[in-house]
């Protein structure tokens, strides 16, 4: 049984990314599609990597952080990658919690100022 592969267009549609984004991910070596002439085909490895890249981006990881993390799997295997993921996730969670605290303070300040101005109008 042959492995299912996606064309360039199918990959863009499946992940709702622009052709430019997909080409860029290839350029910075996050993805490595099979090439047949001018056509590109993506296999299970690329599909899995794309899933992880987009998930990481949604959580605020840089493309370089994602590239380094994905490279750990290639060089050291699953266990090392999972340990690295826990460390990266712990760091990002700290950053996100700090950002949430800053946002909560800004919302509180803005609300207080808005209410003060609104009372002044009455």
Residue 54 belongs to domain with CATH number:
1.10.1660.10
Whether residue 32 is contained in a domain is answered as yes
Whether residue 1 is contained in a domain is answered as no
Position 2 scores a pLDDT of: 58
Q: Which of 59, 74, 61 is nearest to 29 (CA)?
A: 74
- Answer whether 0.85 is exceeded by the pTM: no
Q: In degrees rounded to 5, what are phi and psi of residue 24?
A: -65, -45
Q: How far is CA 47 from CA 33, 53, 102, 111, in A?
A: 10, 10, 36, 44
Position 3 scores a pLDDT of: 72
pLDDT at 1 over 60: no
Report DSSP letters for 22-59, one per residue: HHHHHHTTS---EEETTEEEE-HHHHHHHHHHHHHHHT
pLDDT: which is higher, 83 or 122? 83
pLDDT at 122 over 90: no
Write out pLDDT tens, residues 21-44: 999 999 999 999 999 999 999 999
Which residue range(s) make up the domain with 14? 6-121
Write out pLDDT tens, residues 96-119: 999 999 999 999 999 999 999 999
Position 91 scores a pLDDT of: 95
Number of domains in the chain: 1
Q: How many CB atoms are closer than 10 A to CB 57?
A: 13
Task: Please compute Rg for the chain using Cα positions.
Answer: 21
């Amino acid at each position: 049984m042959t492995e299912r592969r996606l064309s360039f267009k199918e990959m863009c549609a499946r992940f709702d990314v622009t052709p430019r984004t997909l080409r860029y991910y290839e350029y910075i070596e996050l993805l490595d599609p099979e090439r047949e002439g001018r056509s590109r085909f993506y296999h299970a490895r690329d599909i899995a990597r794309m899933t992880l890249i987009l998930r990481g981006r949604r959580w605020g990881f840089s493309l370089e952080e994602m590239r380094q993390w994905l490279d750990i799997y290639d060089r050291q295997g699953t266990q090392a990658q999972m340990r690295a993921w826990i460390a990266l996730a712990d760091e990002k969670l700290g950053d996100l919690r700090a950002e949430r605290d800053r946002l909560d303070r800004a919302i509180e300040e803005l609300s207080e100022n808005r209410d003060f101005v609104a009372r002044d109008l009455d």
